[in-house]
Structure 1
Amino acid sequence: MAEKTALLLLQMGGPDSIAAVEPFLMNLFTDRDIIKIGPSLLQPFIARRIVKKRAPKVAQHYREIGGKSPIRELTDAQGQGLQALLGDDYRYFVAMRYSRPSTLEALAAIKKAGIQRIIVLSLYPHYSKATTGSSLNELSRVLSQAGNRFQVTCIDRFYDHPIYIKALTEKVREGLAQFPDPSQVQILFSAHSLPQSFIDEGDPYLEHIQTTVRLVMEQLGNASPHHLCFQSKASRVKWLEPSTEATLKRLAGEGRKEILMVPLSFVSDHIETLHEIDIQYAEEAKSLGIERFVRSPSLNSSPLFLECLADLVRRVVTP
């Protein structure tokens, strides 16, 4: 019988209850891979003040989407689907960066299962030090403290993988099918923003995002006008532009009436799709006079997306 291989899925995570919102935000704002607030010794104290101020509003947003993030269940479904495609020699585990199960808990479960070989698969298609980089740094820290010596292989990006592009294009087409004349639709690719300083320092995230957009539009045959914008700015420093809000206002000012939002850098539904796009941006679009505002479905457990993940694993097992 072949030895099992662990598939360790890295994801951001999210609160599984309203009570978990504050701890989730605290974990986020104390991660210096994302944001450095003063000296490292003081960051937890400053972060706590920020979180106390933000938590009530964020908690209300989670109430409006059912009282929690669905990302754990959706990631489990992706893991189950991936495991089914790869067969009995594989077993999936999940490591959430800012919620549970933590990286430490995931590795403890792998060790308890008697598995030595781990294929680490980041569920962020576009590499950034703020997402995949942070998760891998946490993995490295935990591994360095572990008594067990694992054999680890990492897959840290797949922004241009042909099956990923095909899966994303399929979802865009599903969205376009909700309009009478897709050629009149403005496609807004909305990616999670990052501080501009990250890009200036060499982070490849923006280049990866731009490549994904180009490849998807090539698959679509450039049938509709498209735009790239950025959402979820989280501080006062300069972030990637244009913002999604500014892009909606510009298009409305040009008399555009039909918008398809395509969430990029998100492979599962969570607060940025279910609340920020589906509620906040939808309301903004309506107030601006946009008559038809649609979001393309998230990848979640799309068969094509699961096949992409399986292909990524097969390629590192048999280069």
Structure 2
Amino acid sequence: MLEAQPETQTGRCPVRLDRPGAGRLEHASPDHPPVPQAKIGVLLANLGTPDNYDYWSMRRYLNEFLSDKRVIDYPAWKWQPLLQLIILTKRPFTSGANYKSIWNHDKGESPLMTITKDQTAKLAEAMATRFGEGVMVDFCMRYGNPSTQSKVDEMVAAGCEKILFFPLYPQYAGATSATACDQFFRALMTQKWQPAARTVAPYFDHPAYIRALADSVRRTYDAMEEKPEVLVTSYHGMPKRYLMEGDPYHCQCQKTTRLLREELGWGKDVVQTSFQSVFGREEWLRPYTVEHVADLARQGVKRLAVVAPAFSADCIETLEEINEEIRESFEEAGGEKFTYIPCLNDEADHIEALAAVIEANLAGWTAR
């Protein structure tokens, strides 16, 4: 038998372990439920993905996403009839076709799912190197599967007395970071023994993240004979009204671009900011990427590169929208060479940057 750590260190009663991760209380009655060894959980969170690209899979996913009041904040009486009767009868077909064009058919999942799994595995390895087996790393999706609730349940059942929740959005936005945290807190509300919890702040200006972003640009440019004339940093858009109501997303995007430009040592005209994925009739943050790249082409820019610093992993907004729709807009307006620079994904310097953010946020919870 192996003895667990003493009560003063773990907060749990002394345990004798019959198998890895679970045991019985040393002085408890025989029918006492098994008690897992205390751990710290690191729960990564991304936006989400449909389970498949068929109509009903897409409809379920879009319904959950577009019913989120953080995403669409119109009154339900006004928004839900439009969503249920019009948008969700048509959009699953078009969105499903877009997902099909980028789907990882070998693994039967979206690229976002594949990449997030790879990121999680590498971060788990990095945490094991730093802290041993006492830190458990997993991921969840705000919409779709695996759900936040299911992963919080798993971590609590595995003995996580503390959970660090990490939304994988460099820049904060109410429609991304905040709604992910909302769901995390809702999941905590269901726990009998609620773990201590922390959330990771946005890391849009973290030096290691900026360096990784700049290095990804340099690697792409170094491999090209003719360098792009302009680099566009394209961020996911949001209604301009959100900015006026206090959301810091726009300002954090602008700062990320400025820090990237300074790290590269390039001028303001060479690195420009725009916003994509406009939805509905309301005015969104400008300039719109799909229009901006066409304007650059009409102004004589022949070679253009686009990078997406708001996305930690390639997804429908990058692989389909940027690399297909926005590319087409540039080329139709007279542009000749369009280069999409992939997200940082599971690149070693990105994993190292994320690991540094995690380690800083675990301060006081671990021996290091």
Post-superposition offset of 1:164? 0.3
The yes-or-no answer on 1:109 pairing with 2:154 is yes
* Contact 2:290–2:325 (Cα < 8 Å) also in 1: no
Where structure 1 has 5 or more consecutive residues not aligned to the other structure, the ranges are: none
Other-structure match for 1:315: 360
Structure with more relative contact order (C-alpha pairs < 8 Å, separation 6 or more): 1
Counterpart of 2:296 (choices 238, 243, 251) is: 251
Other-structure match for 1:274: 319
The alignment partner of 1:188 has SS state of strand
Residue 29 and residue 294 in structure 1: after superposition, are their counterparts in 2 closer, same or farther (change >3 A)?
Answer: same
Counterpart of 1:163 (choices 208, 222, 240) is: 208
Counterpart of 2:45 (choices 2, 7, 10) is: 10
Where structure 2 has 5 or more consecutive residues not aligned to the other structure, the ranges are: 6-37
Distance 1:178 1:262 in 2: 16
**Higher gyration radius (CA):** 2
Counterpart of 1:216 (choices 241, 260, 281) is: 260
Other-structure match for 1:173: 218
Counterpart of 1:263 (choices 292, 304, 308) is: 308
The 5 Å alignment of 1:1-319 reads 3-19=38-54, 20-39=57-76, 43-49=79-85, 50-66=87-103, 68-87=109-128, 88-182=133-227, 185-222=229-266, 225-318=270-363
The one-letter code of the counterpart of 2:207 is P
The alignment partner of 2:48 has SS state of coil
The alignment partner of 1:77 has SS state of helix
Tell me the TM-score normalised to structure 1 length.
0.94
Distance 1:48 1:109 in 2: 33
Post-superposition offset of 1:36? 2.1
Q: Give the paired residue count.
A: 317
Which stretch of structure 1 is more off in the superposition, 67-76 or 253-262? 67-76
Distance 1:205 1:317 in 2: 25
Which stretch of structure 1 is more off in the superposition, 213-222 or 135-144? 135-144
Tell me the TM-score normalised to structure 2 length.
0.82
Post-superposition offset of 1:133? 0.4
The one-letter code of the counterpart of 1:109 is E
The one-letter code of the counterpart of 1:189 is T
* Contact 2:102–2:111 (Cα < 8 Å) also in 1: no
* Contact 1:175–1:297 (Cα < 8 Å) also in 2: no
Distance 1:317 1:94 in 2: 17
Post-superposition offset of 1:155? 0.2
Distance 2:95 2:363 in 1: 44
Which stretch of structure 1 is more off in the superposition, 29-38 or 172-181? 172-181
Over the aligned positions, Cα root-mean-square deviation in angstroms equals 1.7
Post-superposition offset of 1:46? 3.4
